[in-house]
A = this chain, B = another copy of it.
Amino acid sequence: MLEKFLETIDKNQLIEKGQGVVLGISGGPDSTAMLHLFWRIRKAFELRLYAVHLNHQFRGEEAEKDADYVKNLCRRLEIPCYFFSENIEAYSQKKGISFEEGGRERRYQLFDQVLLDNQAHCIAVAQNLDDQAETVLMRLMRGSGLEGLGAMDYKRGEHIIRPLLNISRQEIENYCQRHQLNPRIDQTNFQSIYTRNRIRLELIPFIEKYFNPRIKETLSRTASLMREDADFMSSISKKIFEAIAINVEDEVHISVSALQENHTAVQKRVLRESILQLDGKLKNITTIHIDQLMDLVERGQVGSCLDLPNGINVLRDYSKLCFRNKKNNKRLNFFEYPLKIGENTEIRELDIIFSAEVLPKDSRKDLSGATAVQYFDLDKIQEGMIIRNRRQGDKFSPLGIKGTKKLKEFMIDEKISREKRDEIPLVCDQAGIMWVAGYRMSEKYKLDKNTKQILKISYCYKNL
């Protein structure tokens, strides 16, 4: 299995020598095997490993035992481990999302934070071949296009990697046994437990028995082909969107005639891209909505409107489609406050208080993992720090990537909806953005081996 793991890493360029890797560890067979595999290659790849475990406070004593198991394993393998414990049920209820969504959201937030705190390069999660096959079938049965059937990728976005994605659950269990890892029964997968279980325990075995004994590999291969095609379609469609879309204040306008010069498959993706650019997400947007939009393009009368989920409204104008966000009416004004070391700065518009303090160099290994805290190399900061919200043309060098990006693009990549983009505090010096608070610091201010003084900036909500 080690060879397969190394081959996957090599073929998909998941990690490079000398990198820091954050490992999401539940204590189940998948993540335990992953931890062990990374531990075995840590020297050859000169890796820094950081395990992260979140107790979802849902299964009482069992969850405590999971945490203990992870603790012991990490101690034995000498891998630093971050433990968190949160009431995910309460969190999810408060946000009006499902338990599974809440758990995923918080896990990834914590992974991100550990990544940033340790200047690590990627977050490894342990989905396997069975998860992939189940995902393909689930999406197929619910109804899905090319993008959905692509299921999970070995690499998602800039940081997430899935090095076990072509290794079956059976192989993983055998591996754990061979290495006497004695993992806990895996409880990480809270997602649609009922549907998943039926796919896993009934549907897949039925297909294996009567149609294709290697159905999991077959579905995984199909998903790879779909991702490849989707990637191409997406790159073409984004280019065309860029060429024919006009941003008018809070709206996105698309020229109908320019749109219609393209293949239907591309037109539909440009329409999706318009919504994504406007709203930062495509949640609840289905093929039915896209078909309605196509109808508005092809047959819509001038002045007719279409209401889409998430408060999006599309107007058919003479020559263009206008995508508008009804939530955008109460837009935040510009704000800007000076940030002084040793003082508190209140952002009245957001009810947030920022503070900044200098830490000695030797405090480095005790740096906190809490959200809402970030560390900077003081010598890299220019005079006159301020906290403000975004301005047109803002640019940013996100930690972990080379080069500069438009702030807007960063926010889109981070799936920050349009109406929230003005509410995000930016910590800046005279040279530019140091920290998109709550999201990412700039590469330009990061700690390195020459760092002499550390500037700690943190914030908290006034009402808490």
- A residues whose Cβ falls under 8 Å from a Cβ of B: 140-146, 149, 195, 198, 202-203, 206-207, 210-212, 215, 218-219, 221-222, 225-226, 228-229, 231-233, 235-236, 263-266, 268, 287
Contact = CB atoms under 8 A, between A and B. Distances in A.
Contacts of A266: 232
Contact of A222 (B144, B207, B265): B144
A265 B146 contact: no
A210 B206 CA distance: 14
Given A195-B211, A231-B263, A145 B287 contact: no
A140 B222 contact: yes
A94 to B, nearest CB: 31
Contacts of A218: 141-143
Q: Is the interface of A mostly helix, strand, loop or mixed?
A: helix
Contacts of A236: 236
A139 B221 CA distance: 13
B221 A143 contact: yes
Given A145-B229, A146-B146, 17 more contacts: A140-B222, A141-B212, A141-B218, A142-B212, A142-B218, A143-B221, A145-B222, A145-B225, A146-B229, A149-B149, A149-B222, A203-B207, A206-B206, A221-B287, A229-B233, A232-B233, A235-B263
A225 B226 CA distance: 12
Contacts of A263: 231-232, 235
B198 A210 contact: yes
Q: What are the nearest 3 A-B pairs in CB distance?
A: A232-B265, A143-B218, A232-B263
Q: How many protomers of this protein does the assembly include?
A: 2
A246 B140 CA distance: 40
Nearest to A139: B222
A140 to B, nearest CB: 7
Given A140-B140, A206-B206, A207-B141, A265 B198 contact: no
A287 B228 CA distance: 13
A450 B117 CA distance: 87
A142 B229 CA distance: 19
Contact of A211 (B141, B215, B229, B268): B141
Contact of A225 (B212, B219, B221, B287): B287
A129 to B, nearest CB: 15
A103 to B, nearest CB: 23
A132 to B, nearest CB: 14
Contacts of A228: 264-265, 268
Contacts of A141: 207, 211-212, 215, 218
Contacts of A143: 212, 218, 221-222
A285 B170 CA distance: 31
B140 A219 contact: yes
A146 B265 CA distance: 13
Contacts of A264: 228, 232
B146 A226 contact: yes
Contacts of A222: 140, 143-145, 149
Contacts of A207: 141, 203
A203 B206 CA distance: 8
Nearest to A218: B143
Contacts of A215: 141
Nearest to A212: B141
Task: Give the residue among A228, A236, A287 with the most B Cβ atoms within 10 A.
Answer: A228
Nearest to A208: B141
A142 to B, nearest CB: 7
A146 to B, nearest CB: 5
20 contacts: A140-B219, A141-B211, A141-B215, A142-B211, A143-B212, A144-B222, A145-B222, A145-B226, A146-B146, A146-B225, A149-B149, A149-B222, A202-B210, A203-B206, A225-B287, A228-B268, A231-B263, A231-B265, A232-B233, A232-B265
